[in-house]
């Protein structure tokens, strides 16, 4: 069902249940992640996700409901639950629906450049990050976790006071965890980076930092020793 | 939830590019959450989460994709996208789907969604009043109530087609005691794989009083001295140390890749002979139980360590392939947004022959950790640190003054070698375990145990700090 039509139906149903001011928060996201283990793609995941939550004022209390089933079958459930939840609230602070500001400053939170990075480049990056870690020092025994991921999301807020806004953003991240061993001593080091520019990630530099973190801990004594 | 023919078509599509195993997981969950602070209900929410997860194996590697909602076109599109990540010439044919019947051992008498929310609020109000009544030092009480009803379907290319229902209910009570500038908290969170009848089997007001009593005791306590000493860990939630520092290392998720101190040690002595540890997903209505795991395999009672000897691991299908081992019904996930992997269910150290009184009497000096707080663990090495929520010094074989601010520091595989006394009073405590496949309900547990020596982080060399 068309998103706008669905929102209008939910507001209409809410009115029938006696809800006064109402607001819908709609979120949609996509994600990609690849995990490398010993040079192979250990795990590859993609997702598309969508959900909607309703909040509505009933007798000066704000009830909430939500669903990830965006079709006609959810309309009644959302309105009914929002009303029932408002009925059990005894909150003395009144929560109100905001009609919105007069103006909004535009902020750039979406990188089209990130969208253009190919899946092949992402996988090669993660593989290189792992191989650089193994090559860095013979004490690096294992790279148990090496991954690259990115995601984008889009949020729309619409209420019965006339506010209707949306925004979108995207981000990429990488994570590497290494285990260094010396005799019976094993220590781990990790590095996590995130950016909206894939090309700022340097696989060799990130791997080096994780390895240095682990190696620096070898031979350390626990407190109380 | 979804018809067999549609699921069959999805599995065919998933295998069409050369995958050697495919699985479809469908989930429909209804949840309710209520929050009370200072006796007022200030947040109430309810909703439905519906989605489909698709998993394809390509050798030892896995592809996972998911989508929300019930739009068949969108689901088919997601399966196709996942399949495109595999490119092999040889094709695997799936078996015909055959419906399996689940033997339901977790009977639900009062489904939470058939109970008015006002009844749930009554329970919360009773708990709030009980906690407040303990002492004037109790400055705040917060209560979180939650219930959920989850319906799942698992189908895979071996022909499995099985559904299960899970109903959870839980209440978490947190009390804060304030004295001057000092604040201390106590918390209790009973929960079960059960309907609202769970509250007829427990005294929720007693749990609330217990949370408040801990907060008051600790706000009046002096700081714990630091150093190496024997530590007695109380039954129930004291098992969180075994769960975190040893349990995760016994999951195939870690073992299959050699990322565990227990990898390759089957049949070897890894703990004191007094230690037997079990993971049991079949305990009726227990918080960590299910009829089947999230890969459709029936859950089991699994002996992990028997009299100190490593006997087994917790194994899921994919890591089982890597280890050449059968699944132990341990494949779990928070919801359809996560691929399953091996996880604990109800994991505990089995009871021994020592009594609580004997253990205390046989300890000249040490720390009694009556309640555990939060902590962190490095899964690769088993190194951990945990705060003690309620602690007492032991002097001359007797429980002496309460102490606060204690931290326990150690290594899981070393600590289980040093468990030299095991009590007879097994109890389980409810928690939510976070790991690779999300947050899942788990019971931790043990009888009272003594660790002959552990590093206790504290202040000063005595308890007068």
Name the residue of chain A whose CA is nearest to B86's CA: A44
Mutate to test the interface with A, among B30, B44, B230 (most CBs of A within 10 A): B44
B257: confidence class by pLDDT, cuts 50, 70, 90:
confident
With H, G, I as helix, E, B as strand and everything else as coil, classify residue B49: strand
Select from B42, B49, B258 the Cβ nearest to the Cβ of A68. Answer: B49
pLDDT given at position B87:
86
* DSSP letter for each residue of B365-411: EEEEEEEEEEEEEETTTTEEEEEEEEEEEEETTEEEEEEES-EEEEE
Question: Is A50 in CB contact (< 8 Å) with chain B?
Answer: yes
Pairing of strands B160-179, B98-100: parallel
SS3 string of chain A?
CCHHHHHHHHHHHHHHCCCCCEEEEEEEEEEEEEEEECCEEEEEEEEEEEEEEEEEEECCEEEEEEECCCCHHHHHHHHHHHHHHHHHCCCCCCCCCCCCCCCCCCCCCCCHHHHCCCHHHHHHHHHHHHHHHHHHCCCEEEEEEEEEEEEEEEEEEEECCCCEEEEEEEEEEEEEEEEEEECCEEEEEEEEEEECCHHHCCHHHHHHHHHHHHHHHCCCCCCCC
**By the 8 A CB rule, do B445 and B236 touch?**
yes
Answer yes or no: do B455 and A222 touch at CB < 8 A. Answer: yes
Q: Nearest-CA distance from B70 to chain A in Å?
A: 7
CATH superfamily for domain B4-220: PmbA/TldD superfamily (3.30.2290.10)
Question: Is A182 in CB contact (< 8 Å) with chain B?
Answer: no
Residue B40: how many CB atoms within 10 A of its CB? 14
B175: confidence class by pLDDT, cuts 50, 70, 90:
very high
Residue B407: how many CB atoms within 10 A of its CB? 18
**By the 8 A CB rule, do B87 and B17 touch?**
yes
Answer yes or no: do A81 and B47 touch at CB < 8 A. Answer: yes
Mean pLDDT of chain B: 95
User: What is the mean pLDDT for each group of 10 consecutive residues in chain A (225 residues)?
Assistant: 91 98 97 94 91 96 95 94 96 93 90 94 97 97 96 97 96 97 92 97 98 93 51
Boundaries of every domain in chain B: 4-220, 223-457
B464: confidence class by pLDDT, cuts 50, 70, 90:
very low
CA B435 to centroid of chain Cα atoms = 10
Report chain B residues whose CB lies below 8 A from the CB of A188: 378, 380-381
Report chain B residues whose CB lies below 8 A from the CB of A37: 257
Closest residue by Cα to residue B379 from B242, B238, B258, B259: B259
The CATH number assigned to the domain with range A3-217 reads 3.30.2290.10
Question: What is each CA distance from A24 to A164, B134, B360, in whole angstroms?
Answer: 10, 42, 58
B461: confidence class by pLDDT, cuts 50, 70, 90:
low
Answer yes or no: do B42 and A50 touch at CB < 8 A. Answer: no
Mutate to test the interface with B, among A3, A6, A28, A85 (most CBs of B within 10 A): A85
The complex's ipTM?
Answer: 0.86
Pairing of strands A185-195, B21-37: unpaired
pLDDT given at position A191:
98
Closest residue by Cα to residue B300 from B287, B278, B281: B281
Mean per-residue pLDDT, B177-188: 95
Judge whether residue B124 has pLDDT over 90: yes
Question: In this predicted model, what pLDDT tens digit does every residue of B143-154 receive, in sequence order?
Answer: 999 999 999 999
Computed on alpha carbons and rounded to an integer, the radius of gyration of chain A in Å comes to 24
**By the 8 A CB rule, do A179 and B380 touch?**
yes
């Amino acid at each position: 069902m068309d998103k706008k039509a669905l929102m209008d139906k939910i507001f209409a149903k809410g009115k029938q249940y006696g809800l006064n001011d109402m607001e819908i928060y709609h979120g949609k996201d996509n994600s990609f992640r690849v995990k490398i283990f010993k040079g192979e793609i250990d795990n590859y995941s993609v997702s598309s996700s969508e959900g909607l939550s309703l909040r509505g004022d009933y007798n000066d209390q704000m009830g909430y409901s939500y669903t990830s089933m965006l079709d006609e079958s959810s309309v009644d459930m959302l309105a009914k639950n929002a009303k029932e939840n408002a009925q059990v609230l005894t909150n003395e602070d009144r929560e109100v629906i905001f009609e919105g500001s007069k103006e909004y400053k535009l902020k750039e939170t979406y990188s089209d450049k990130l969208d253009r990075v190919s899946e092949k480049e992402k996988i090669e990056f993660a593989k290189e990050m792992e191989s650089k870690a193994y090559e860095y020092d013979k004490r690096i025994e294992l790279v148990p976790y090496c991954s690259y991921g990115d995601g984008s999301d889009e949020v729309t807020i619409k209420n019965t006071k006339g506010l209707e806004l949306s925004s979108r953003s995207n981000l990429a991240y990488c994570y590497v965890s290494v285990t260094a061993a010396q005799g019976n001593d094993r220590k781990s080091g990790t590095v996590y980076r995130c950016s909206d520019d894939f090309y700022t990630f340097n696989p060799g530099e990130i791997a080096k930092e994780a390895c240095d973190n682990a190696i620096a801990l070898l031979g350390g004594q626990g407190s109380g020793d | 939830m979804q018809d067999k023919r549609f699921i069959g078509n999805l599995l065919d599509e998933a295998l069409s590019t050369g995958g050697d195993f495919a699985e479809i997981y469908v989930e429909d969950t209804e949840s309710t959450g209520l929050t009370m602070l200072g006796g007022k209900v200030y947040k109430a929410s309810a909703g439905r989460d519906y989605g489909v997860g698709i998993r394809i194996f390509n050798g030892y590697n896995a592809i996972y994709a998911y989508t929300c909602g019930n739009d068949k076109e969108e689901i088919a599109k997601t399966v196709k996208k996942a399949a495109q990540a595999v490119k092999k010439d040889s094709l695997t044919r799936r078996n015909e789907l055959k419906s399996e019947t689940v033997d339901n051992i977790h009977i639900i008498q009062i489904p939470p969604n058939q109970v008015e929310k006002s009844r749930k609020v009554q329970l919360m109000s009773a708990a709030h009043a009980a906690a407040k009544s303990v002492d004037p030092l109790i400055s705040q009480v917060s209560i979180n109530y939650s219930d959920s009803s989850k319906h799942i379907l698992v189908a895979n290319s071996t022909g499995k087609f099985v559904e299960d229902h899970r109903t959870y209910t839980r209440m978490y009570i947190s009390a804060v005691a304030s004295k001057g500038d000092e604040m201390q908290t106590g918390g209790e969170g009973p929960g079960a794989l059960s309907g609202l009848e769970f509250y007829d089997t427990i005294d929720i007001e007693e749990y609330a009083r217990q949370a408040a009593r801990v907060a008051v005791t600790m706000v009046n306590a002096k700081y714990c001295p630091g150093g190496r000493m024997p530590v007695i860990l109380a039954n129930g939630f004291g098992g969180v140390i075994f769960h975190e520092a040893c349990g995760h290392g016994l999951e195939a998720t870690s073992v299959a890749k050699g990322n565990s101190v227990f990898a390759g040690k089957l049949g070897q002595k890894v703990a004191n002979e007094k230690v037997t540890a079990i993971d049991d997903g079949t305990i009726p209505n227990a918080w960590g139980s299910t009829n089947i795991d999230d890969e459709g395999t029936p859950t089991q009672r699994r002996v992990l360590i028997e009299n100190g000897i490593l006997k087994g691991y917790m194994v899921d299908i994919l890591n089982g392939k890597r280890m050449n081992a059968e699944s132990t019904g341990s494949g779990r996930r928070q919801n359809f947004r996560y691929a399953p992997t091996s996880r604990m269910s109800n994991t505990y150290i089995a009871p021994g022959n020592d009594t609580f009184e004997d253990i205390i009497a046989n300890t000249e000096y040490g720390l009694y950790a009556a309640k555990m707080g939060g902590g962190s663990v490095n899964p690769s090495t088993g190194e951990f640190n945990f705060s003690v929520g309620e602690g007492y010094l032991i002097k001359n074989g007797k429980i002496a003054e309460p102490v606060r601010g204690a931290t326990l520091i150690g290594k899981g595989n070393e600590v289980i070698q040093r468990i030299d006394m095991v009590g007879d009073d097994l109890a389980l405590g409810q928690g939510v375990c976070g790991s690779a496949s999300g947050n899942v309900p788990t019971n931790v547990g043990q009888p009272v145990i003594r660790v002959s020596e552990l590093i206790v982080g504290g202040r000063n060399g005595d308890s007068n700090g």
